[in-house]
Structure 1
Amino acid sequence: MKVSVQTLGGETGGDIELADAIFGLEPRADILHRVVTWQLEKRRGTARPTRERADVARSGKKLGRQKGGGTARHGDRRAPVFIGGGKAHGARLRDFNPSLNKKVRALGLKMALSSKAKDGSLIVVDGLDVEAGKTKALAGQFAALNVGVKTLVIDGDALNVSFANASGNLRGVNLLPAVGANVYDILKHDTLVLTRAAVEKLEARLNG
């Protein structure tokens, strides 16, 4: 599929041929849902357990005789009522480390890119150079590009320094290298902006 390449100022600078196997697929909600769920689960840290009565290293000897001592009938010092005793009904270990086939993850990324190309919210730009790295200049260029409220910009291997400096104060604009492209970030933004270098890197990454 052919897409016109623009400058940051909104001017047309030729066409680029996007691979149909990456940008021309029919998106499937079930695949996208699986990949997004996997991503969000992988972000979660391990829920730490607490030591319960059986986990505390203390003597199991009974404190005193069952009757006649004038005190409570305790069994041992592992009881939760004692300082250092095991916690009653404590938190259990929960480790969030799901697995997902690499082919499904790659397919999800292809479908996320295809969904942006299909609904017209994909923009390919020639480069990301911003004059003097000024936020005001970039804001005017983005207005000419007609991007959405939330915009994800993906560059090649190295991020453009002037664009990174200029976009730092723009709300709703996020910048990623091509290696960091992922389904969740692509789908949650209104507009996806790719550079020529990003297109080359993504096609090389996903063609294998």
Structure 2
Amino acid sequence: MIVMKLDIINLNNDITGQIDLHPEIFGLEPQEDILYKIIHWQLAKRRAGTHQVKERGDVRGSTRKIYKQKGTGKARHGAIRGAQFRGGGIIFGPHFRSHEYKINKKVRKLGLKFALSSKLKEVHLTIMDEFNLSSHKTADLKQKLGNFNAKSILIIDNNINENVKKSCANIHTINVLPVAGINVYDIIRHEKLIITVDALNAIKERLA
């Protein structure tokens, strides 16, 4: 088995040690079709599905035939609520429904491995000894993460510090997730991925 090593750093961007990465999680060649399927599935689950139109039976109006069938020289019509009239019902319009669909559990697991492997391959993965802040101020967090020169950062930690939650709340480009909440979409859409040592061990247990 190939041993993959990566430096462990602290919040000051100083190297504090090294850690072995599991090749079956971080050493795979990402497949774009699998990543696309997982992201499409995730976004479909998030859709509210509250779009709704009124059909012929839902709009206001009489059900009386507007004029006689023959002899008028006009087209044959029924009630005023038909779709061809202004204010009439909509034909084949969207209705309230769930957009969620099922996807194989093994494919979801594989997609997560591909997402993690892609971050390592792009040199956008950082392992940190811990991610704790003594202050909840946003400015302090910005100063600490300024060393990474990334447009967006996702932090994965097993035990998220309360100060980290508060300081991240005001920055839309920085997000923090527990190991239980990691997903392909959030990993891919952030430029930089920071994983603490505790979180990395939990990910190994979950995916290995």
Cα distance in 2 for partners of 1:43, 1:77 equals 38
Contact 2:55–2:90 (CA<8 Å) still a contact in 1? yes
Q: Are 1:198 and 2:199 matched, yes or no?
A: yes
Q: Are 1:29 and 2:63 matched, yes or no?
A: no
Q: Secondary structure at the match of 1:153?
A: strand
Q: What RMSD over aligned residues (CA atoms) do the two structures have, in Å? A: 3.1
Contact 2:58–2:89 (CA<8 Å) still a contact in 1? no
Percentage of matched positions with identical amino acids: 39
Partner of 2:91: 89
Q: How far 1:200 sits from its partner (Å)?
A: 1.6
Partner of 2:156: 154
Cα distance in 2 for partners of 1:6, 1:63 equals 78
Cα distance in 2 for partners of 1:179, 1:4 equals 24
Change in Cα spacing, 1:50 to 1:198, as seen in structure 2 (3 Å) is same
Partner of 1:176: 177
Q: Secondary structure at the match of 1:175?
A: strand
> What TM-score, normalized by structure 2, do the two folds share?
0.80
Contact 1:3–1:16 (CA<8 Å) still a contact in 2? yes
Q: Which runs of 5+ in 1 are unaligned?
A: none
Change in Cα spacing, 1:66 to 1:171, as seen in structure 2 (3 Å) is closer
- Aligned mate of 1:112, from 88, 112, 115: 115
Stretch deviating more after TM superposition (193-202 or 46-55): 46-55
1:44-55 correspondence to structure 2 within 5 Å: 44-53=47-56
Code of the aligned partner of 1:46: G
> What TM-score, normalized by structure 1, do the two folds share?
0.80
Cα distance in 2 for partners of 1:166, 1:43 equals 26
Cα distance in 1 for partners of 2:51, 2:169 equals 36
Stretch deviating more after TM superposition (135-144 or 195-204): 135-144
Change in Cα spacing, 1:38 to 1:18, as seen in structure 2 (3 Å) is same
Q: Which runs of 5+ in 2 are unaligned?
A: none
Contact 2:83–2:91 (CA<8 Å) still a contact in 1? no
- Aligned mate of 2:106, from 94, 103, 122: 103
Q: Are 1:42 and 2:45 matched, yes or no?
A: yes
Q: Are 1:3 and 2:6 matched, yes or no?
A: yes
Figure out how many residues of one structure are paired with residues of the other and give that number: 202
Q: How far 1:77 sits from its partner (Å)?
A: 7.0
Code of the aligned partner of 1:148: A
Cα distance in 2 for partners of 1:77, 1:140 equals 66
Contact 1:50–1:90 (CA<8 Å) still a contact in 2? no
Stretch deviating more after TM superposition (103-112 or 146-155): 146-155
Q: How far 1:130 sits from its partner (Å)?
A: 1.4
Q: How far 1:5 sits from its partner (Å)?
A: 1.0
Cα distance in 2 for partners of 1:45, 1:166 equals 29
